[in-house]
Amino acid sequence: MDTRSPEAATNPPMATTAMASTSAVGEVSGVVPEAGGPEIAFFDVETSVPQRAGQGHALLEFGAILVCPRRLVEVASYATLVRPADLGVVSAMSVRCNGITRDAVAGAPYFREVADAVHTVLHGRVWAGHNIVRFDSARIREAFAEIGRPPPQPKGMIDTLPLLTQRFGRRAGDMKMASLASYFGLGKQRHRSLDDVRMNLEVLKYCATVLFLEASLPEVLTVENLVGGAITRSQVNGAASPEVPKPEAKSSPDSSKRQRTVSRVSNAIQAGDNQQSIDPAANNEPVELISNMEEMKLDASTQMYANSSAFSGFLMPDDVSTEFIKIYVPSSNQFAQRTYIHHKDSLLQLCCTSSQVQFGVSTKFLDNAGRPKLNIVVDIPDNIREVLEFCDGIAQRSSQESGSTSEWIPMVKKYGYVNRPVVRLQ
């Protein structure tokens, strides 16, 4: 019996892989074409949540749909639970995140038993998914490495998280899948692989439709009304808008006497393999803002008075005791969860003098409208590093306990050639 749609049945036959719907290979819907086909593979993985430093993510579920790139319809799907080598990694926190229990994966196949099917679905195709570059594809590579097999290779990759953030703007808050689904009224994200990839495809269709309509009637359906009247990238790379004049350079008579503590980064600071230099010259980006900024330094000898309006409410790092630092997470935000750090029941605000600031513009860091951002990196002393790392640690634990599975990006980074750690201002 031909289970294809009437339209699909009229198309020329293609090489396919028969995979029975058993627990040994997972659940298959439709006929999965051989690897290397023209279909786009939307996929998602669910993993355990690491409980300690150095512990990795154990793969618990893989789900994918193959989508016709011309019609954007699902032609086949594949999903399977995966039994981890150690069932103990399925913690209560993991269950809260995705609902996958130890009992659910206890009878599931090990990854080596489903590796062939996963390879067939992914290899040689265009991969698509939400945050797949930083998370899902990395978990796939790790899973294949653990069984000593080469991983599948993509023909291309579409990560809808940065794509939609750049093209659609942050209209849906943090642009996570749950926020996007809520924005478009698509229901609640279940955090199960197959459900999530199907929701991902629907979100992509909705975003594309909105952008298409806005492009059709730009005078009526203007995106500026939704993203706060931001200028376009063409205005950044070309002539500035008449309403936004370029700032005039101003310098004080004694500016040459100031110690040089603010400078452009020169092909030096990088944040791991996934970030580029923030040197503006390397990216041929406009630097009008930078060229008109005065070099400045907050002198360490400046007296700070408790009743001074300039520093009221701010603490020096040495005045902060970590035992009084608490985290506060309000539940009123509809989309993005914002975390507040308190010290003795007041919002923790730090003041640090004599800090070296380096800055530049890079296309690696974009704002909500897709424009290159001014990127600022601050060299910090040990006393403020200790406070920031403590705050970062309790914020990370709070995020994990709330059910988040997003990769945590630490606030403070240390670079081998720098004597002191640095913090990147967001």
What distance, in Å, lies between the first and last C-alpha atoms of the chain?
57
State whether the Cα torsion 281-286-287-292 is positive or negative.
positive
Domain boundaries, the chain: 6-216, 254-425
Each residue's pLDDT tens digit, 188-240 = 888 899 999 999 999 999 999 999 998 888 777 755 544 443 333 334 344 43
pLDDT band, very low/low/confident/very high, at 387 (cuts 50, 70, 90): confident
Catalytic residue among 57, 123, 130, 191: 191
Calculated CA dihedral for residues 90, 92, 95, 100, nearest 10 degrees: 40
Instruction: Verify whether residue 191 is a known catalytic residue.
Output: yes
Across the range 356-368, mean pLDDT stands at 70
Structure-block tokens of residue 126: 């265009």
pLDDT given for residue 254 in this prediction: 44
Q: Is the pLDDT of residue 20 over 50?
A: no
Q: How many CB atoms lie within 10 A of CB 422?
A: 20
Average pLDDT taken over every residue of the chain:
73
Each residue's pLDDT tens digit, 2-19 = 444 444 443 433 344 444
| Cβ neighbours for 243, distance < 8 A, ≥ 6 positions apart | none
State whether the Cα torsion 272-149-27-56 is positive or negative.
negative
Please give the single-letter amino acid code of residue 19. Answer: M
Structure-block tokens of residue 235: 């205005």
**Distance, CA of 267 to CA of 173 (rounded, Å):** 33
pLDDT band, very low/low/confident/very high, at 132 (cuts 50, 70, 90): very high
Give the DSSP letter string of 141-193: HHHHHHTT-PPP--SEEEEHHHHHHHHH-STTTT--HHHHHHHTT-------H
Each residue's pLDDT tens digit, 271-312 = 334 433 333 333 333 333 333 333 333 344 444 444 444 455
| Cβ neighbours for 94, distance < 8 A, ≥ 6 positions apart | 47, 48, 49, 60, 100
pLDDT given for residue 312 in this prediction: 57
**Distance, CA of 409 to CA of 396 (rounded, Å):** 9
**Where does residue 7 rank: exposed (0-12), middle (13-18), buried (19+ CB within 10 A)?**
exposed
**Range from 53-57, 151-155, 405-409 carrying the lowest mean pLDDT:** 405-409
Q: How far is CA 64 from the centre of its chain?
A: 20
Which CATH superfamily does the domain covering 6-216 fall into? Ribonuclease H-like superfamily/Ribonuclease H (3.30.420.10)
pLDDT given for residue 368 in this prediction: 60
Please state, in angstroms and as integers, the Cα–Cα distance from residue 106 to each residue in 20, 23, 85, 102, following that order. Answer: 21, 12, 10, 6
φ/ψ bin of 272: left (φ > 0), alpha (ψ from -120 to 50), beta (otherwise): left
Please give the single-letter amino acid code of residue 409. Answer: I
pLDDT given for residue 305 in this prediction: 43
Q: Which helix (H) or strand (E) holds 128?
A: strand 126-129
**Distance, CA of 73 to CA of 161 (rounded, Å):** 21
Q: Which of 237 and 313 is assigned the larger pLDDT?
A: 313
Across the range 381-393, mean pLDDT stands at 84
pLDDT given for residue 291 in this prediction: 35
pLDDT given for residue 137 in this prediction: 95
The pTM of this model reads 0.52
pLDDT given for residue 414 in this prediction: 65
Q: How many CB atoms lie within 10 A of CB 226?
A: 16
**Range from 18-27, 215-224, 319-328 carrying the lowest mean pLDDT:** 18-27
